[in-house]
Chains A and B, each alone.
Chain A
Amino acid sequence: MALEQSVIQDKLVATFGEDVRFLEKTDIFTILIPSHLIVPVVMFLKNDEVLRFNFLTDLGAIHYPDNQPAEQFCIFYLMHNWVDNVRIRIKTFISGENPEVKTLTNVFLCANWMEREAYDFYGINFIGHPQLKRILNMDEMVSFPMRKEFPMEDGGRTDKDDRFFGRTVSNKPVQDQVPHEKL
């Protein structure tokens, strides 16, 4: 590869200092940054003449309810440099109570719907997004279905017998039961 990992590492440290942490033993070169630095780092990676990460491959969120409250949601961005064929993954953790991060729609147009999807599934507020409303679920939905506490099954299901699925039989209705045991 023409672009070495050490070059990316040095440039990032030179521009952003101690805020950038590098994760070990990952399949793609991964960096961990605080959430307020997302837009500067992505713009730096995109516009720098040596780094040239011109493509935003993916944007998603993960829910870690067992973490400390300031780090319960993780947002990951996958970028790709097509000239030197190098991928990079950027991760940031945001708080569980009030998850919000700046939007990337001004940098990459494709981030628009990907951030709407993250909002729809997890309730993460993307500050400055032109149209932050639900995209895949119904507009009237109030909860955020991909969070770990939300059950997978349809609450109104009448014909599925819990005994055959290894679930604990209880007198509570389906919605109040402990969310699904792993099969």
Chain B
Amino acid sequence: MVAPPEGYSGEGFFATKLSDVVGLARANSLWPLPFATSCCGIEFMATMASHYDLARFGSERVSFSPRQADMLLVMGTIAKKMAPVLRQVYEQMSEPRWVIAVGACATSGGIFDTYSVLQGIDKVIPVDVYVPGCPPRPEQIVEGVMKLQEMVKNESVRRRSSPEYKELLASYNIS
């Protein structure tokens, strides 16, 4: 059970802000798109399994279709060969969308400082939450999702039309 947002309640009614209700709904039903490339993908499988169940945070339905997913979980090393694919998947996601970079490789290239590894996915797509670790424990991945939930709850309803967001996307050349 989640705590209700602040508001006035009386007999038969509850008045609150629209953005709070929408934020609450969005935060507790984040459908992930697992973009699992390597070892962190196995820790994600452990997170989705019954021991560290991620479904209790609302991520029951793992969607592999970008149009139906809310958050993109990039888990594992992204090579430069893979970067255009990642970008295409991000561009195909519909708003609202958030990105969590799970693991050291997705965050900054990890231990692979080589010619073929992209040194962090924030070189090609904007990232909201970084989860460090190699691989991060399932508890850390869950904490990353919880931090994202905090961000989502406090966001405005139409983030996509705010100038900061437009500027951010423009800096990545995403139309």
Contacts and interface: CB of A to CB of B under 8 A. Distances in A.
A154 B81 contact: no
B81 A152 contact: no
B114 A153 contact: yes
Contacts of A151: 115
Contacts of A160: 113
Contacts of B81: 137-138
B113 A152 contact: yes
Contacts of B117: 154
Nearest to B82: A138
Range of interface residues on A (Cβ < 8 Å): 10 to 19
Range of interface residues on B (Cβ < 8 Å): under 10
Given A152-B113, A152-B114, A157 B80 contact: no
A150 interface: yes
Interface in B70-127: 80-81, 109, 113-117, 119
Contact of A152 (B80, B109, B115): B115
Given A153-B113, A154-B115, A157-B119, 5 more contacts: A138-B81, A145-B115, A153-B114, A154-B109, A157-B113
5 contacts: A136-B116, A137-B81, A151-B115, A152-B115, A153-B115
Cβ-closest 9 pairs across A and B = A138-B81, A153-B113, A154-B119, A145-B115, A154-B115, A152-B114, A157-B119, A137-B116, A138-B80
